[in-house]
Amino acid sequence: MRASVSERQVDVAIIGAGPAGLTAAYLLTKAGLTVTVIEKDARYVGGISRTVEHQGFRFDIGGHRFFSKSKEVVDLWNEILPDDFIVRPRMSRIYYEGKFYSYPLRAFEALRNLGLIRSGLCMASYLRWKAFPKKDTRSFEDWTINQFGKKLFSIFFKTYTEKVWGMACSDISADWAAQRIKGLSLGKAVLDGFRRSLGLNKKPNDGMETKTLLESFRYPRKGPGMMWEAARDHVVAGGNQVLMGHALKQLSHDAEGWRVSATNDEGERIIRARHVISSAPIRELLGRIHPLPETLPQARDLKYRDFLTVALMIRSPDLFPDNWIYIHDSKVKVGRIQNFRSWSPEMVPDEELACVGLEYFCFEGDGLWSSSDEELIALATREMATLGLCDPATVEGGAVVRQEKAYPVYDDCYAANVAAIRDELETAYPTLHLVGRNGMHRYNNQDHAMMTAMLTVRNILADNRAFDIWAVNEDAEYHEAGDEGAQATIGMPQNAELSEDQRVALDSVRTVPRPLKAA
Ligand SMILES: Cc1cc2nc3c(=O)[nH]c(=O)nc-3n(C[C@H](O)[C@H](O)[C@H](O)COP(=O)(O)OP(=O)(O)OC[C@H]3O[C@@H](n4cnc5c(N)ncnc54)[C@H](O)[C@@H]3O)c2cc1C
């Protein structure tokens, strides 16, 4: 039987139904434009911010807090999902050899948990490195050892950092450590401990930062996917299409505009559009543009870190009250453990069961990634026992969620590669708009991915690329250095206004470690 081909003409074709793609689709629908979204996942919208369901249990990929400095983003969240946000307390600690440690670390609590001998060794190591610090602090390892001593570094920094980033701490550049761990000084913490012993500091010493305990975040009661399902429903109710299970096959431009072809099991869809918005990873997109762009080799050089969660259902009360715990233990491969009921009670349908998600950071195709679901569930069960967190006999079920390209990698060449790709595409195709996290190869949260889509919609409605969504990262660093006004900061043309609110949102970029350049 011949596969069918159908064709539709719209104003805007959107690749990907994650936060960026659906934000664009939602706003364009509201503005009265015709839109078709293609999404390669057959079942879920939301991309990395989706919520996966397994026999009534719900998991999200990494735990998604809804927090934004931008009122505009928060207003949009409230508009899309007016009745379903809950406010949750935030709690997360480090778990090491059977004990919980506050995060950020509190020196006295840490030393007490470590016991007398190991604490003595930590203090001796701290004093040794304070007296004779490494002179040339080029790496994360050098910087952290100078700050805390080698013993504390190996317990609290080395294992977790190496699990997450897949790089040795000696290969990560020191500037990231300085940014990431600033304000955390053993000296200050010791002083604080003395003040507390003398009764001069009345703040509770309960193993949690008081501030952390008070911190809370908003969360859709059924997980982040709920937000993106609601956005999709608005788009469809507005007469537009979200085609599930449709992966981009080819993208080309001619005198009539864009021709986007997408395939699923049943055949091929052709979408004709004036504009295309892409939130697909740049590496994938460039291989689909016809004729192939000259910067395809640069796109192929972009790298990603992948991620998988093994959810376990355990016959037990919740194992800990935290939303998640960091695992600083080299005996196990797991990096973090989520506690889904702490995110929302509605994530776990059975009150008799606890549901945790063991998170493994990996590379697509490596040993972990290619293990079968059964092997991964068995590994997670073994590691829970090794950590002393549960008896394997109480594990009643499990599910595996793989997330390819969870983190765009910032290596030495990524910035030049992205700049070259952007340059070629913007010159050749002014109506092709790259948005979002992997769509722009930027390590950004949902709110930032959404903001790039919001500004792109404005550019499309104005038929003018007035908002430069690409100037964000470089200028965010510039801005953090405490420099001038909004227009210069985000490289806007003189006639385009960026509100304070948009500027703050665009500036909220997370820092990631950079590898040391070869000497
Ligand atoms: C572990 C982890 C924890 C996080 N925690 C938070 C948090 O607490 N708060 C927060 O705000 N953010 C968090 N984030 C970031 C957040 O997940 C992303 O910023 C957000 O999902 C990016 O949205 P996006 O639309 O740009 O991309 P994505 O979410 O990647 O969506 C892209 C969509 O495009 C689809 N697609 C890709 N290629 C194609 C193709 N060829 N054809 C058709 N469709 C395609 C994908 O299937 C996907 O649905 C976290 C991320 C990770 C990895």
Q: How many other CB atoms sit within 10 Å of the CB of residue 91? A: 21
pLDDT at 508: 55
**pLDDT at residue 2 above 60?**
no
| Residue-wise pLDDT tens digits, 216-255 | 889 999 999 999 999 999 999 999 999 999 999 999 999 9
Ranking 21-35, 107-121, 136-150 by mean pLDDT, the lowest is: 107-121
Range 182-210 average pLDDT: 50
Cα angle value 488/493/495 (rounded, 5°): 110
| Residue-wise pLDDT tens digits, 128-168 | 999 999 988 888 899 889 988 999 889 888 998 898 888 89
Q: Strand pairing of 395-408 and 432-434?
A: unpaired
pTM value?
0.88
pLDDT grade for 195, boundaries at 50, 70 and 90 = low
Candidate ranges 93-97, 264-268, 339-343, 445-449; pick with highest mean pLDDT: 339-343
pLDDT at 97: 87
- 36, 48, 304: residue to mutate for ligand 1 pocket, most atoms within 8 A of CB: 48
**One-letter identity of residue 328:** H
**One-letter identity of residue 388:** G
Please state, rounded to an integer, the average pLDDT across all residues of the chain: 86
How far is it, in rounded angstroms, from Cα 362 to Cα 406?
10
How far is it, in rounded angstroms, from Cα 401 to Cα 391?
23
**pLDDT at residue 258 above 60?**
yes
Range 318-338 average pLDDT: 93
SS3 call for 453: helix
Closest atom, ligand 1, to C-alpha of 436: 26
User: Atom 35 of ligand 1 has which residue's CA nearest to it?
Assistant: 16
Cα 292 to ligand 1 centroid, rounded to whole Å: 25
Task: Please say whether the beta carbons of 132 and 126 come within 8 A.
Answer: no
Q: How many other CB atoms sit within 10 Å of the CB of residue 2? A: 5
**pLDDT at residue 71 above 50?**
yes
| Residue-wise pLDDT tens digits, 35-66 | 999 999 999 999 999 999 999 999 999 899 99
- Cα distances from 10 to residues 37, 271, 276, in angstroms, run 10, 7, 10
pLDDT grade for 78, boundaries at 50, 70 and 90 = very high
Closest atom, ligand 1, to C-alpha of 20: 25
**pLDDT at residue 207 above 70?**
no
Ranking 189-193, 360-364, 382-386, 474-478 by mean pLDDT, the lowest is: 474-478
Cα 449 to ligand 1 centroid, rounded to whole Å: 8
| Residue-wise pLDDT tens digits, 352-376 | 999 999 999 999 989 999 999 999 9
pLDDT at 41: 97
Task: Please say whether the beta carbons of 318 and 339 come within 8 A.
Answer: yes
Cα 26 to ligand 1 centroid, rounded to whole Å: 17
Cα angle value 361/365/368 (rounded, 5°): 45
Identify the DSSP state of 197: H
| Residue-wise pLDDT tens digits, 440-486 | 999 888 988 998 999 999 999 999 888 888 765 433 333 333 322 23
pLDDT at 90: 87
353: β partners? 315
